[in-house]
């Protein structure tokens, strides 16, 4: 479709301005559909950027530049008008200055390339909870990924109409081509110091430059669906959260929907696609990363998954850890930075088997001996640790039939969690909404070797798993959560809000061994949560919250009664330390915008613990 055929006057003008600034060789408005997707892939194959996989139907492997392999948090900006609105935990630059710098970079940045204008819907097209974005990009890889991760095309423009609201998103890889120059197999991107992932919350705009990878470039995901959406949600009275959504069915066929927020590397995608070991229970997936929730007329919160695909971490995924993800990525999938086997299949660390043949090509394009097992020495990885698969959600065998319901699904429980080797029990229900907000605000996870080496073993707090994804001041974000509870109270609908739980699959014993087997066995905890939402008599009140009554969570094989008891009891001394750390090191980070209600919770728990 041509730009002059756009019916939305503001949109047409915005695109014209971008064309004048970025001077692409040609411009194309994306219409969506399989043939457009195939054409984008074809362009990348011809440019030497993608390899067709012989072993996976309609699937391709890309290798990015070694400098462009993950989100770049230190180049990510929340450029609100006022610095204090971005808060102390976001990078801030004056929006006018940032636009000046980036306009300089965008000038001529698409020379030699095609500009694609991607109309996309976050959420089912036309849903009341959905939002529209328009991404301008010079990367056919981005177009193909957006086709999988969002709903793209003319159907979105039809909903937008001639004056609808959309979030304008600029993206350029920042590598213009000289006359006759071609990518020639080299992933285009700009040097690190020229990369910018910028958000303008006041004007609801996203400007991204210099990176072609993941959340830096697929702007519907973290940029729109979390950073900008969190601001919209604050202003409009809903929630945009970094949460999975799952459907839980008990043996009597009753259904509840549960969301969960966990910092990275805590198994969010695995939980969303879990295969229960508990007989008669079923888990199905609505979403694995992001939930948008709006209060319905009945006072319940209704959630949609704004995405249409999974952008999952490949290493560690195998038929045992996540059979459903492996199936979802078995065809029509884009793989990035995985290894390539001799017989034309992908390979990664902990895929469950060695690589066939004599050699494999690693994510940097180097030929290496084929690994016999599925492990590689650290630093010698065949797949990059942040290698990804982009797979359509509808291919997931356990996708819930209502995953695209435009009304969303009514949520019964929120789970917060992290990797906590000590202190934090297996599951703990908040005493009240505000106590649950308190739990969310102190969420943290042990730093694993995969992240930052000098912090290994320490707890890094990541409130609501939103620290890198909140588009405004975290103190105000906590206040927004508190206000959702206050409003429900005022409407006499507090009992309709989800119950809040804190879970921990990662407790370790004195020898450093995991005490809880995790994975499918987590269904035992989900079953307890399910019954708790029905008010079943399965808990005991303690100073830290409601813990499982002995015997109400069946121990999995190999877990003794003594271990179950330890997992479900209060470690008073540990909690005193936990709370002291929150008071001294965590809450002060948010300064004077830290809501008083949360300090009151801190006082109350100290009192209950006898501090």
Q: Which residues here bind ligand SAT, judged by CB under 6 A?
A: 71, 214-215, 221-222, 264, 311
**Considering the complex, what minimum distance in angstroms separates the CB of residue 75 from ligand SAT?**
13
**Considering the complex, what minimum distance in angstroms separates the CB of residue 215 from ligand SAT?**
2
DSSP symbols for 538-575: -EEEETTEEEEPTTSSPPPTT--HHHHHHHTS--HHHH
C-alpha 76 chain-centroid distance: 16
Comparing CB distances to Mn ion, the nearer of 289 and 476 is 289
481 binds, among Mn ion, ligand SAT, none (CB under 5 to 8 A by kind): none
Comparing CB distances to ligand SAT, the nearer of 142 and 594 is 142
**Considering the complex, what minimum distance in angstroms separates the CB of residue 131 from ligand SAT?**
17
Of 428, 423, 414, 421, the C-alpha closest to 544 is 428
SS (H, E, C) 455-506: HCCCEEECHHHCCCCCCCCHHHHHHHHHHHHHHHHHCCCHHHCCEEEEECCC
SS (H, E, C) 271-331: HHCCCCCCCCCEEEEEECCCEEEEECCCCCEEEECCCCEEEEECCCCCHHHHHHHHHHCCC
499 binds, among Mn ion, ligand SAT, none (CB under 5 to 8 A by kind): none
**Considering the complex, what minimum distance in angstroms separates the CB of residue 310 from Mn ion?**
11
Q: Give the residue numbers marked as catalytic.
A: 266
Cα within 13 Å of Cα(83), Cβ side: 7
Count of residues near Mn ion by CB under 5 A? 1
Tell me if 357 is assigned to a ligand binding site. Answer: no
**Gap between the Cα atoms of 141 and 101, Å rounded:** 26
Comparing CB distances to Mn ion, the nearer of 290 and 525 is 290
CB atoms closer than 10 angstroms to residue 397: 15
Of 406, 414, 431, 400, the C-alpha closest to 255 is 400
607, containing H or E segment? helix 596-609
Tell me if 267 is assigned to a ligand binding site. Answer: yes
Q: C-alpha distances in angstroms, 481 versus 77, 238, 246, 253? A: 23, 9, 21, 32
Q: C-alpha distances in angstroms, 433 versus 424, 438, 477, 532? A: 19, 9, 15, 15
**Considering the complex, what minimum distance in angstroms separates the CB of residue 226 from ligand SAT?**
9
71 binds, among ligand SAT, Mn ion, none (CB under 5 to 8 A by kind): ligand SAT
Spell out the residues 6+ positions from residue 441 whose beta carbon is closer than 8 angstroms to its own. Answer: 463, 464, 478, 598
* Member of 205, 288, 289, 597 binding Mn ion (CB under 5 A): 289
Tell me if 189 is assigned to a ligand binding site. Answer: no
**Gap between the Cα atoms of 11 and 3, Å rounded:** 9
**Considering the complex, what minimum distance in angstroms separates the CB of residue 146 from Mn ion?**
17
Tell me if 345 is assigned to a ligand binding site. Answer: no
Determine contact, residues 516/567, Cβ cutoff 8 Å.
Answer: yes
* Angle of CA points 385, 312, 170, to nearest 5°: 95
Rg (CA), the chain: 24
Tell me if 289 is assigned to a ligand binding site. Answer: yes
Comparing CB distances to Mn ion, the nearer of 289 and 404 is 289
Comparing CB distances to Mn ion, the nearer of 272 and 484 is 272
**Gap between the Cα atoms of 550 and 553, Å rounded:** 7
222 binds, among ligand SAT, Mn ion, none (CB under 5 to 8 A by kind): ligand SAT
Comparing CB distances to ligand SAT, the nearer of 223 and 484 is 223
SS (H, E, C) 234-279: HHHCCEEECCEEEEEECCCCCEEEEEEECCCCCCHHHHHCCCCCCC
Segment near Mn ion (CB under 5 A), from 132-140, 189-197, 255-263, 289-297? 289-297
**Considering the complex, what minimum distance in angstroms separates the CB of residue 479 from ligand SAT?**
25
Tell me if 557 is assigned to a ligand binding site. Answer: no
Q: Are strands 196-200 and 76-78 parallel, antiparallel or unpaired?
A: parallel
CB atoms closer than 10 angstroms to residue 4: 9
Tell me if 196 is assigned to a ligand binding site. Answer: no
Tell me if 388 is assigned to a ligand binding site. Answer: yes
Which residue has the closest beta carbon to ligand SAT? Answer: 215
Q: Are strands 255-261 and 409-417 parallel, antiparallel or unpaired?
A: parallel
Per CB under 5 A, contacts with Mn ion among 456-515 are none
Segment near Mn ion (CB under 5 A), from 282-290, 393-401, 493-501, 584-592? 282-290
Task: Kindly write out the interface string for residues 234-253 of this chain, putting x where it contacts Mn ion by CB under 5 A and - elsewhere.
Answer: --------------------
Tell me if 419 is assigned to a ligand binding site. Answer: yes
Grouping H, G, I as helix, E, B as strand and the rest as coil, residue 116 is: strand
Comparing CB distances to ligand SAT, the nearer of 467 and 547 is 467
Tell me if 213 is assigned to a ligand binding site. Answer: yes
Comparing CB distances to Mn ion, the nearer of 267 and 295 is 267
**Considering the complex, what minimum distance in angstroms separates the CB of residue 341 from Mn ion?**
28
Q: Could you give the residue ranges of the DSSP H alpha helices within 73-175? A: 83-86, 95-106, 140-149, 154-160
Tell me if 522 is assigned to a ligand binding site. Answer: yes
Binding-site residue ranges: 71, 213-215, 222, 242, 264-270, 289, 386-388, 419, 519-522
Binding-site residue ranges for GTP: 265-270, 388, 419, 519-522
Q: Which residues bind Mn ion (CB under 5 A)?
A: 289
Binding-site residue ranges for substrate: 71, 213-215, 264, 386-388
């Amino acid at each position: 479709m041509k730009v002059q055929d756009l019916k939305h006057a503001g949109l047409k003008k915005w695109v014209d301005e971008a064309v004048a600034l970025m001077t692409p060789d040609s411009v194309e408005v994306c219409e969506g559909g399989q043939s457009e997707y195939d054409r984008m892939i074809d362009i990348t194959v011809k440019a030497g950027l993608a390899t067709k996989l012989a072993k996976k139907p309609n699937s391709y492997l890309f290798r990015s530049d070694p400098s462009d392999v993950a989100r770049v948090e230190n180049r990510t900006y929340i450029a609100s008008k006022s610095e204090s609105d971005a808060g102390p935990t976001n990078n801030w630059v004056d929006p006018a200055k940032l636009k000046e710098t980036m306009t300089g970079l965008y000038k001529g940045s698409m020379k030699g390339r095609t500009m694609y204008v991607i109309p996309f819907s976050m959420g089912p097209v036309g849903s009341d909870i959905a939002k529209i974005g328009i991404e301008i990009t010079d990367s056919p890889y981005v177009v193909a990924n957006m086709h999988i991760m969002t709903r793209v095309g003319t159907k979105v423009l039809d909903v937008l109409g001639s004056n609808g609201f959309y979030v304008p998103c600029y993206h350029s890889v920042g590598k213009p081509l000289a006359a006759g120059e071609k990518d020639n197999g080299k992933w285009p991107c700009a040097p690190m110091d020229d990369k910018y992932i910028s958000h303008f919350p006041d004007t609801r705009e996203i400007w991204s430059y210099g990176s072609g990878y993941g959340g830096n470039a697929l702007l519907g995901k973290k940029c729109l669906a979390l950073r900008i959406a969190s601001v919209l949600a604050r202003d409009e009275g809903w929630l945009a959260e970094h949460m999975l959504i799952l459907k839980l069915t008990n043996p009597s066929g009753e259904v509840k929907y549960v969301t969960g927020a966990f910092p990275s590397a805590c198994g969010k995608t695995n939980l969303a696609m879990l295969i229960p070991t508990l007989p008669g229970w079923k888990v199905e997936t609505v979403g694995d990363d992001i939930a948008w929730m709006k209060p319905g007329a009945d006072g319940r919160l209704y959630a949609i998954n704004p995405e249409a695909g999974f952008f999952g971490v490949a290493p560690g995924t195998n038929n045992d850890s996540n059979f459903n993800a492996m199936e979802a990525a078995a065809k029509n999938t884009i793989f990035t930075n995985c290894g390539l086997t001799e017989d034309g299949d992908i390979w990664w660390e902990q895929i469950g088997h060695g690589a066939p043949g004599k050699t494999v090509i690693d994510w940097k394009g180097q030929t290496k001996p084929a690994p016999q097992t599925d492990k590689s020495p650290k630093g010698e990885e065949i797949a990059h640790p942040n290698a990804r698969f982009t797979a359509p959600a509808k291919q997931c065998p356990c996708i819930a039939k209502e995953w695209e319901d435009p009304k969303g699904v009514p949520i019964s429980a929120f789970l917060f969690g992290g990797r906590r080797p000590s202190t934090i029990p297996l599951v703990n229900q908040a005493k009240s909404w505000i106590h649950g907000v308190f739990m969310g605000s102190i969420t943290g996870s042990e730093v694993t070797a995969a992240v930052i080496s000098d912090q290994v073993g320490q707890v890094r707090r990541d409130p609501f798993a939103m620290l890198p994804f909140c588009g405004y001041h975290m103190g105000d974000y906590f206040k927004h959560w508190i206000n959702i509870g206050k409003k429900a109270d005022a409407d006499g609908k507090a009992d309709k809000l989800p119950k809040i739980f804190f879970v921990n699959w990662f407790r370790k014993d004195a020898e450093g061994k995991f005490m809880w087997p995790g994975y499918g066995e987590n269904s035992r905890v989900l079953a307890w949560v399910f019954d708790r939402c029905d008010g079943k008599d399965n808990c005991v009140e303690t100073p830290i919250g409601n813990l499982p009554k002995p015997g109400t969570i069946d121990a999995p094989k190999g877990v003794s009664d003594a271990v179950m008891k330890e997992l479900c009891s209060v470690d008073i001394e540990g909690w005193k330390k936990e709370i002291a750390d929150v008071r001294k090191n965590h809450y002060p980070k948010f300064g004077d915008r830290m809501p008083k209600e949360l300090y009151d919770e801190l006082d109350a728990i100290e009192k209950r613990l006898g501090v």
